[in-house]
Chains A and B, each alone.
Chain A
């Protein structure tokens, strides 16, 4: 039923298609890539796109197409990792806050306020810097600034659900807290969670690439999209292919997740339909 409604949202289906293609690229990168993404061929550096190198080569003669394919692996993996980490932590904390209420709720919400006070990239950068620049630390940093979003979202849902008849009925027939949380509250928070996660995939891909671009994420020679743009920044007008293709890959992937997020929200929350 939901699937049928989703399939009627043409732009969302297009977004999903884009995501599926990127997911396939990420999984199959070793099979699809015509060259080793790290293999240098300096005499053949900065070659324009051709039949041999569809997207040209960079200054070290590495194949841009192969690097872009491997980049999908890193960016999608990074998005998934961060969203999973922050969704799990945020959901647990949000459910507890919403269900227990009272001072625990108040305390948890004030803590999320503190995280919301920071512009996310500045906090993420400070954390990534303190942990030491690496892709893994960049992911931890972005997750640290992302989880409060989920805590707030889930807490709000639980507050609404807590007093609904089916929860009261479950309580009346003697269901324990654990059962109510697992069976009745959590499943009903899934749809807003899914919408948020879809948007956050896009946000995270951009944030991790941004951190890598300024040197606090993935490190060269890793074929990561942000690193690729950073390495090609001095060639932007002379050898456009170094930066154009990774940027377009990012644009497509992020737009894909945003379109799916829009579509899911429209389907799951008909009040917001446009």
Chain B
């Protein structure tokens, strides 16, 4: 077990080095001169030269990468050209919003996707199954930015049932920062008005972001359940007189679970991608919107920071799922 975990973590380190190389290479491709961009158009030649020297931009690329890596290892992601703050500080401020949104979307995905998938499989080839499959088809093919705009238009602007963009109403103060997740922090400090408001603000973006992954999970759950329902041991269990609930719960669902778990891990990546669009639409102050603004303004230190953090979170989530999976199913450790 320990060897398996070590091997996975070793692979992760290799991936992270590659990721740092790739983001560094990307920043090199940007045609704009970062020094010129940082100092503005009024900067004098000498100022720009001095700034380039300060950042090490006058060194050969290999040396620059060395400087970049040594800073990175100390947790220094450089300074944002746009916000003029340390990128690491910016990310610390924006990341919790994305984590909260992503977890909420994952909750939507699991709460809707797994039960609907099970119900569809148990009612195979009925209208229930057909509607679940149509839902999955639409959820998987719908542009989520349109879904977000419609939800916002209908439930906020027209009906005014739910609050609009942002994480909290502007009249409320954010809760005392503990985790950075407004819902959790409000709960921990017993701040009920903020808790209720933060939940209300989460509903529409979480549904928007979770729709696609719900569709994928629904399909996966359905097909995994169907595969197990057809197994001999299920027939045996039924034949020996076990109740429907016991057969489905203990024999079918438990065995259908590993592939479902794998998909949940993979879906984290699609949620982080989707967060870019969702955060833009809902004006959600997370790293997705931060990335979009940074790319628009060619603020590549910031873009590199986001890409790096995203590329750490995603394989880490997958590694955790794999480790969890290997605890449930010892066979996967072999390969």
Show the binding face of A for B, using Cβ within 8 Å: 110-111, 113-123, 125-132, 202, 206, 209-210, 213-216, 225-226, 229, 233, 236-237, 243, 247, 250-252, 254-255, 258-259, 274
Contact = CB atoms under 8 A, between A and B. Distances in A.
Nearest to A232: B149
Contacts of A110: 14-15, 18
B292 A236 contact: no
Nearest to A207: B273
B246 interface: no
B124 to A, nearest CB: 9
Contacts of B292: 125, 214
Given A114-B19, A255-B138, A121 B276 contact: yes
A274 B223 contact: yes
28 contacts: A111-B18, A114-B18, A114-B21, A117-B18, A117-B314, A119-B272, A122-B288, A122-B310, A126-B291, A128-B295, A129-B295, A129-B303, A130-B27, A130-B30, A206-B143, A210-B145, A210-B277, A214-B292, A233-B149, A236-B149, A237-B154, A243-B149, A247-B142, A255-B137, A255-B141, A258-B137, A258-B140, A258-B141
Interface centre among B149, B157, B307 (most CB of A within 10 A): B149
Given A117-B312, A274-B223, 12 more contacts: A110-B14, A110-B18, A111-B18, A113-B11, A115-B22, A119-B314, A122-B291, A126-B307, A210-B143, A214-B276, A214-B277, A229-B146
Given A113-B18, A125-B292, A247 B274 contact: no
A98 to B, nearest CB: 16
Nearest to A237: B153
Nearest to B212: A206
Nearest to A255: B141
A237 B306 CA distance: 34
Contact of B226 (A114, A206, A274): A274
A117 B146 contact: no
B143 A126 contact: no
Contacts of B223: 274
Contacts of A229: 143, 145-146, 149
Contacts of A250: 141-143, 146
B26 A126 contact: yes
Interface size class of B (residues with CB under 8 A): 35 or more
B92 to A, nearest CB: 18
A263 to B, nearest CB: 13
A118 B19 contact: yes
A254 B270 CA distance: 17
Given A117-B19, A118-B311, A237 B158 contact: yes
Q: What is the predominant secondary structure among interface residues of chain B facing chain A? A: helix
Contact of A130 (B15, B270, B300): B300
Given A113-B18, A130-B30, A119 B310 contact: yes
A225 B19 CA distance: 32
A110 B315 CA distance: 13
A251 B15 contact: no
Contacts of A215: 296
Contacts of A274: 223, 226
Interface in B236-263: none
Contacts of B21: 114
Nearest to B311: A117
A111 B146 CA distance: 34
A251 B212 CA distance: 12
Interface in B260-305: 269-270, 272-274, 276-277, 280, 288, 291-292, 295-296, 298, 300, 303
Contacts of B274: 121
Nearest to B300: A130
A243 B146 contact: yes
A213 B277 contact: yes
B193 interface: no
A210 B145 CA distance: 7
B157 A237 contact: yes
A255 B139 CA distance: 9
Contacts of A113: 11, 14-15, 18, 315
B29 interface: yes
Contacts of B303: 126, 129
B150 interface: yes
A118 B307 contact: yes
Q: Which of B15, B152, B295, B296 has the most CB of A within 10 A?
A: B295
B75 interface: no
Contact of B146 (A116, A132, A247): A247
